[in-house]
Amino acid sequence: MPQEKNQTDPIHPRAIERRRFVRTAVGVGALGLLPAISACARRGGSPRVVAYVSVDDVLAREVLAACTAATGVEIDAVFDTEASKTTGLENRVRAERDRPRADLFWSSEGLAAVRLAKDGLLAQLPDSVWSSWPASHRDDDRRWVGFAARARVIAYAPSRGTPPMSDWRDLAKPGIAKGSRAAIAIADPRFGTTRGHLAALELAWQNAHKRDLDAPTLDEWLEGLRANGTVVLTGGNAATVEAVVSGECAYGLTDTDDVFAAQARGLAVELTLPRTLNAGVAGGGTMLVPNTVSMVAGRPGPTQHVERVAAWLISPESEAIQCRSPSRNLPIGPNATCDPGFQAEDPLAFEVADIAGTADETAVRALRILGGTA
């Protein structure tokens, strides 16, 4: 059963954040209130929009509070659970296509936005939001832009004598270090950034074969992980870090923000940003996972207010908040100045649209190979 992050964690002061002025509706039951809330607000008082948000709620609340302070637009944010949150909110947008309840979708990764755009469920962003953004992090048809990225990393605990990994392929080599239960922890690949990462690895290695470069097939790599001992965890990427910290596993496939969160709690865990392809192959580093912002087609909110919120979410101020937060997201906008303390050298080059259609099938296959239950 998917689990949420620990709400008593000292770096996640939810009790404090909930007293901020961003109004928040959480879960399926709250969705029925949104049309009434929005309609009431639009007849008088402050302008208001509804945002579906798959980002960690404490970080999102801080960003949205700052957005409201800067724009004057109140934001009703709807969150979902940790392990399946992006998929769950994507499905809500899809289920509400005949009567949209959300104005904006702020996703913690890009696959959901690509699929929703393909199905005609996203509207075009204004040119003022889209045109100045780096071409590698925006949709050619103006339906989403990516910002404030995390990176896919391998977590390990050097205090346990575990050596670092500099290449994703090394996880499949025989004889790697093991924890008390297994060598490797991985989140359920059907959800979150693990799903997109596996699809991106498969695409990168397929393209490498076409160029006669050294690379495994994804299935070969997964079989190697299984042979080394891999546990599939339902608690998301944070659970893989916890498995490393506890000594249950030697290595964990996760994101930068989950490792930084553990370090902020004083836990002994480090990370590497492994390469996907051999050194010297351009575009062969690790995968970056930007957030994305998009506007829902047929949205109920006034366009000018929705556009103001979308524009602010990708502003230098927004990226700076996320960079300086415990998540330490990497700014990718043209005017970014904050240093999160890591740099993704030569990040993996790929088109998100090229993996959006294959990610689900790849995830189910990966779960089966790794010994999980599809």
User: What is the full DSSP assignment across 107-123?
Assistant: ESSSHHHHHHHHTT-EE
H-helix segments, the chain: 14-17, 28-31, 34-43, 57-71, 85-95, 111-118, 127-130, 192-210, 218-228, 237-246, 256-264, 303-313, 316-324, 352-356, 359-369
- 278 close to 192: Cβ distance less than 8 angstroms: no
Per-residue pLDDT band for 336 (boundaries 50, 70, 90) equals: confident
Least confident window among 109-113, 122-126, 257-261: 109-113
Least confident window among 9-13, 180-184, 195-199: 9-13
Stretch 292-311: mean pLDDT: 95
pLDDT at 240 over 60: yes
| Predicted pLDDT of residue 254 | 98
Stretch 239-246: mean pLDDT: 97
Stretch 111-137: mean pLDDT: 93
Instruction: Residue 35: count other Cβ atoms within 10 Å of its Cβ.
Output: 14
pLDDT at 33 over 90: no
Stretch 63-91: mean pLDDT: 86
Contacts of 241 (CB under 8 A, 6+ apart): 155, 252, 254, 258, 259, 261, 262, 267, 269
| Predicted pLDDT of residue 7 | 34
The domain segmentation of the chain, as residue ranges, is: 14-149+290-324, 150-287+347-369
- 164 close to 156: Cβ distance less than 8 angstroms: yes
Matching CATH number, 14-149+290-324, of 3.40.190.10, 3.40.630.30, 3.40.50.12160, 3.90.650.10 = 3.40.190.10
Superfamily of domain 150-287+347-369: Periplasmic binding protein-like II (3.40.190.10)
Q: Between 192-210 and 218-228, two packed helices, what is the crossing angle to 10 degrees?
A: 130
Per-residue pLDDT band for 345 (boundaries 50, 70, 90) equals: confident
Per-residue pLDDT band for 5 (boundaries 50, 70, 90) equals: very low
Which of the pair, 169 or 40, is modelled with greater confidence? Answer: 169
CATH topology identical between 14-149+290-324 and 150-287+347-369? yes
Compute the distance between CA of residue 226 and CA of residue 222 in angstroms, rounded to an integer.
6
**What percent of the chain has pLDDT above 70?**
86
| Predicted pLDDT of residue 120 | 97
Least confident window among 26-35, 217-226, 230-239, 346-355: 26-35
| Predicted pLDDT of residue 373 | 56
**What percent of the chain has pLDDT above 90?**
77
Residue carrying structure tokens 């006669």: 212
Average pLDDT of the chain? Answer: 87
